[in-house]
Amino acid sequence: IMSSRTFFVGGNWKMNGDKKSLGDLITTLNTASLNDETEVVCGAPTVYLDFARSNLDARIGVAAQNCYKVAKGAFTGEISPVMIKDCGVEWVILGHSERRHVFGESDELIGQKVAHALESGLGVIACIGEKLEEREAGTTEEVVYAQTQAIADNVKDWSKVVLAYEPVWAIGTGKTASPEQAQEVHEKLREWMKANVSEAVADSVRIIYGGSVTGANCKELGSQNDVDGFLVGGASLKPEFVDIINARA
């Protein structure tokens, strides 16, 4: 049974591409036949946000990959939600594992960013996920619940939030979580939402999976009851992204 939650497929381009290659990708997406029941968002590097928003078809959303926790000020190198919105961009990815583990962002900072982005009117793709050693130590649930709590403490309107479960060991490794592994964590997260937020939010919030999603594995992953879409890295830079968008077609 398919849920009433609109399937959501995000592309995270990370720090890749240039105007030529991203322009070619944008042309591919604009001219592709995309399932119009799926919500699609592309996460562009900061310097290409305006370029992506200006060139992508209006049916495709754009996301920033990060932002700071206040609107303006002496924070060299940072960007704010109000600037993102000024480029016509509607979404921001926050708490990505690379922000957490390469750049040392804490749960507390991510929570503050989530609060400010939502207050500023952006939609938030909020990322969580355990490391390999945490999974092997049996602490996956503990880790993702704590990360989710730090996000949930900062959310008033869940309709603007998509939760992305991205196990760190599956990101960029080609080691995709099995459909059963993904479903198990997504189901537990939805139970956590029911117990700690509300039943209505648990039923309506999109929980998407990220980590080595490809055209070849997306259909089986996307057919799991609690997998409401994907956050795609490497494959979002290829024409294959169209097949992932159409996973439920």
What is the rounded CA–CA span in Å between residue 23 and residue 31? 12
3-state SS class at 125? strand
Question: To the nearest whole angstrom, how small is the minimum distance from the Cβ of residue 16 to ligand 13P?
Answer: 10
> Least CB distance from residue 43 to ligand 13P, whole Å?
7
Compute the distance between CA of residue 20 and CA of residue 8 in angstroms, rounded to an integer: 27
DSSP letter assigned to residue 6: P
Q: Return d(Cα 31, Cα 42) in angstroms, integer.
A: 15
- Contact between 213 and 11 under an 8 Å Cβ cutoff? The reply is no
Question: Among residues 172 and 179, whose Cβ is nearest to ligand 13P?
Answer: 172
Binding site for ligand 13P (CB under 6 A): 12, 96, 166, 171-172, 210-213, 231-235
> Which among 112, 140, 139 is positioned nearest to 126, based on CA atoms?
112
Least separation in angstroms between CB 107 and ligand 13P: 18
Catalytic residue among 39, 96, 105, 116: 96
Q: Which is nearer to ligand 13P, 81 or 129 (CB)?
A: 129
Measured between alpha carbons, how far is 123 from 108 in angstroms, rounded to an integer?
19
Q: Is 166 labeled as catalytic in the residue annotation?
A: yes
Strand segments (E) across 65-159: 91-94, 123-128
The residue from 39, 105, 130, 166 that is catalytic is 166
Residue number of the CB closest to ligand 13P reads 233
Radius of gyration of the chain (CA): 17
Closest distance of CB 4 from ligand 13P, Å: 25
Task: Return all residues near 200 (Cβ < 8 A) that are at least 6 apart.
Answer: none
- Six-digit token pair at 113? 């960013």
Q: Which is nearer to ligand 13P, 202 or 207 (CB)?
A: 207
Query: Which CB sits closer to ligand 13P, 98 or 226?
Result: 98
Q: Which is nearer to ligand 13P, 53 or 99 (CB)?
A: 99
> Shortest gap between Cβ of 229 and ligand 13P (angstroms)?
12
Q: Which active-site residues does the annotation give? A: 96, 166
